[in-house]
Chains A and B, each alone.
Chain A
């Protein structure tokens, strides 16, 4: 089954339980969500849709994996315990031991918002674990002002 969310969104799983009345459908087992360049692999996904429009998606994994190939640069990989497509068009929120990799750079956080279209990431610390980042400067010494 594939559901559209502003962009074409397809969700595949071993089995699906749909509750027409509440508009809630639950996908279980090797769930894969694809939307544009974004791909999510999770154990369990709950999709809430109304009149054929998807309002929110909640994915859960131990951990779940997220991948974005269309970043205009290096692909972005993320892992977390839960993932939510909020109603806003392109904001993805990951929570729980979130780790983002882009090339050799790494970002750890408790809650991470990923704004797909603007490629912005916001990470916030958890109760016990602070945000940690590993930044490797570009190998080529950048010419003054010549940005990547």
Chain B
């Protein structure tokens, strides 16, 4: 691993010792009447936390200055060090001069040589004709020659003038003016520039600049110069206060030559807590045109967004009462969904959730209520009131539970102010379960939890109700036990069915859940007459079998999967599986497979593996078997020694509306000085995930 830089950013030659008593040890001393004493022979002068070693030191008590000559070495308690042939220091004023200097800057691992160092004050020093590098001891793969290097420790900035960068002795860069942080503290300044090419934007160079405006807010502006399009200004403003925080992004390109005109993207996120009970949040996004993210983002997640949320919410979170007032709207980006479809907007929506005690073996009452006004979707404004009071009695004992529950769902609609549809349905359920346990050798425990639940909901004709915010729930184990197989109140499924489930869990001796596997099925006494149109499968007496499993087999293996299997025709209707193997922190291989009968089949493979000592490879691909086309693939090679790094990435991504774009990114980093190039947000970090076990 690379040596960590010394952490304390203090001047390598401390001069705070103005008042402090000086202690000297030497072989010989000659004191003169005028207050000057000359020490010689392995002289060691210490004051405060500084120590000066030299062959000869002339100390003037009256002017409080000293001159050290011959193998001068100055160190301070914070790891700063300076070696020189000659050093004159006025301790009262803090000014001094050193010649033939070799120095190490704490905080930034920078070390170098200089003809002369002028120590301006306690916190400022100028290094003349210097050659320095950030490479750790022993290696000098790259170094910088600069006429002048000014260090200001209060501002934590090093400024080099006429800096020439040499790499293996070859001059590769010249900066008339180069500033770099000399400490880890946040500091305004240039962040590593990024250089790359993308098929839809040409050659790109982006140079982020970070404004450390205040301890609790900062701004990063990144002009991104693209040869085919123009200059896109990305701005990211973050702020943090007592009880509130936020992050806003404003990307704006005055003229996009390919698009022919200005384009922008807006993202505003704000979260606030007024007091321990009241909170508010905003998540507002807007783009000038649907293709913005596919054109300007090598970021796989952004490029595949279908709708941009424009949400606002104010809420009260009490112990028994939860209240929320929201406004939800979305900007549609996926133009393929059909011109007629325009998402409803819920302006406003009121949600209320009140419940009594949650202690077991007691009568529980609960009220879920929502009132909403829906706009858009080609219909006049519609209002909806949905109330679901419920009574239940969770009877629990160590080995199981029995919970009878009775609820009545009352839903009323007003279209353009006129009451139209009214629906009242009782919902009755009785669920019970047992818990079997056994202790495993090694102290772990395994449970076996059978569960049985009966649900009865009478049929109500709901043909006339539009789907405002309701859609069928995918068929998974988690959704088996819902009292409504639709998300949202616009459909309440009729039911006369028995749901059976079996879950097993494996716990280690320290209580970590190592494995959870569940399987379940529904037996229909009476087939439901309301079910999702897409459920083209004829509903038989029994539903598909739904199974899912999560297992951390060992410290290195992780497996996750789910399945919907039709026992009648022995066909899998839906399933996904994911395997991850990670023997070392920076070595990981993951394989994923997803299948929805007739709709989608996709395989994802990703690999990040160290090769030799400093190299690592990066491969990631998602392949759609249904369309026999690669949705997205990346290849990367990285070299990183403690001193410098080189990375090369090439990728092809399918964006929205079947836009295909390829990107090639190149990154050359001189550690400590910033990267000359760009590493994209490697999609691997989104697919593969390092589990925090």
Contacts and interface: CB of A to CB of B under 8 A. Distances in A.
B22 A132 contact: no
B419 interface: no
A62 interface: no
A121 interface: yes
Contacts of B25: 130-132
A92 B469 CA distance: 106
Interface string B14-49: 000011011111111111111101010100000000
B41 A125 contact: yes
A130 B26 CA distance: 6
A105 B24 CA distance: 11
B652 interface: no
Nearest to B63: A142
Of A107, A121, A133, A137, most B-chain CB atoms within 10 Å: A137
A73 B22 CA distance: 21
Interface in A78-110: 105, 107, 109
B23 A122 contact: no
Nearest to B40: A131
Given A130-B25, A137-B18, A120 B31 contact: yes
Given A136-B21, A137-B18, A142 B29 contact: no
B64 interface: yes
A142 B64 CA distance: 8
Interface residues of A, number: 27
A141 B91 CA distance: 10
B59 interface: yes
Given A120-B32, A137-B92, A131 B27 contact: yes
Contacts of A135: 21-24, 37, 59, 61
A137 B29 contact: no
A134 interface: yes
Contacts of B24: 132-135
A28 interface: no
Given A135-B59, A137-B18, A148 B35 contact: yes
Query: What's the interface size class on B, roughly?
Result: 20 to 34
Nearest to B26: A131
B28 A142 contact: no
Contact of A134 (B21, B62, B92): B21
A133 B23 contact: yes
Contacts of A131: 25-29, 39
A119 B32 contact: yes
A8 interface: no
Contacts of B30: 120-123
Given A131-B39, A148-B35, A137 B61 contact: yes
Of A123, A131, A148, most B-chain CB atoms within 10 Å: A131
A71 B37 CA distance: 16
Of A72, A107, A125, most B-chain CB atoms within 10 Å: A125
Nearest to A136: B21
A141 B92 contact: yes
B32 A138 contact: no
Nearest to B28: A124
Given A123-B28, A124-B28, A133 B39 contact: yes
Given A131-B39, A132-B23, A138 B62 contact: yes
A118 interface: yes
B33 A72 contact: yes
A147 interface: yes
Contact of B31 (A107, A125, A134, A138): A107
Contacts of B64: 137-138, 141-142
Of B29, B30, B39, B91, most A-chain CB atoms within 10 Å: B29
Contacts of B35: 147-148
B95 to A, nearest CB: 11
Contacts of B29: 107, 109, 121-123, 131, 133
A6 to B, nearest CB: 20
A109 B91 CA distance: 26
A137 B90 CA distance: 11
Contacts of B27: 124-125, 130-131
Contacts of B33: 71-73, 118-120
A73 B29 CA distance: 20
Contacts of A109: 29
B61 A105 contact: yes
B25 to A, nearest CB: 5
Nearest to B66: A135
Nearest to A138: B62
B39 to A, nearest CB: 7
A109 B61 CA distance: 19
B61 A122 contact: no
A144 B64 CA distance: 11
Nearest to B20: A137
Contacts of B91: 137
B646 to A, nearest CB: 53
A142 B90 CA distance: 11
Contacts of A118: 33
A137 B19 contact: yes
Contacts of A132: 23-25
Given A135-B24, A137-B92, A142-B64, A121 B31 contact: yes
Nearest to B34: A147
Interface string A33-65: 000000000000000000000000000000000
30 contacts: A105-B61, A107-B37, A109-B29, A118-B33, A120-B31, A122-B28, A123-B31, A124-B27, A124-B28, A125-B26, A125-B28, A131-B27, A131-B39, A133-B22, A133-B37, A134-B21, A134-B22, A134-B23, A134-B24, A135-B23, A136-B22, A137-B18, A137-B61, A138-B61, A141-B64, A142-B64, A142-B92, A147-B62, A148-B34, A148-B62
Given A137-B22, A148-B62, 18 more contacts: A107-B37, A119-B33, A120-B30, A120-B31, A120-B32, A125-B41, A130-B26, A131-B39, A133-B22, A135-B61, A136-B22, A137-B61, A138-B62, A138-B64, A142-B62, A142-B63, A147-B62, A148-B34
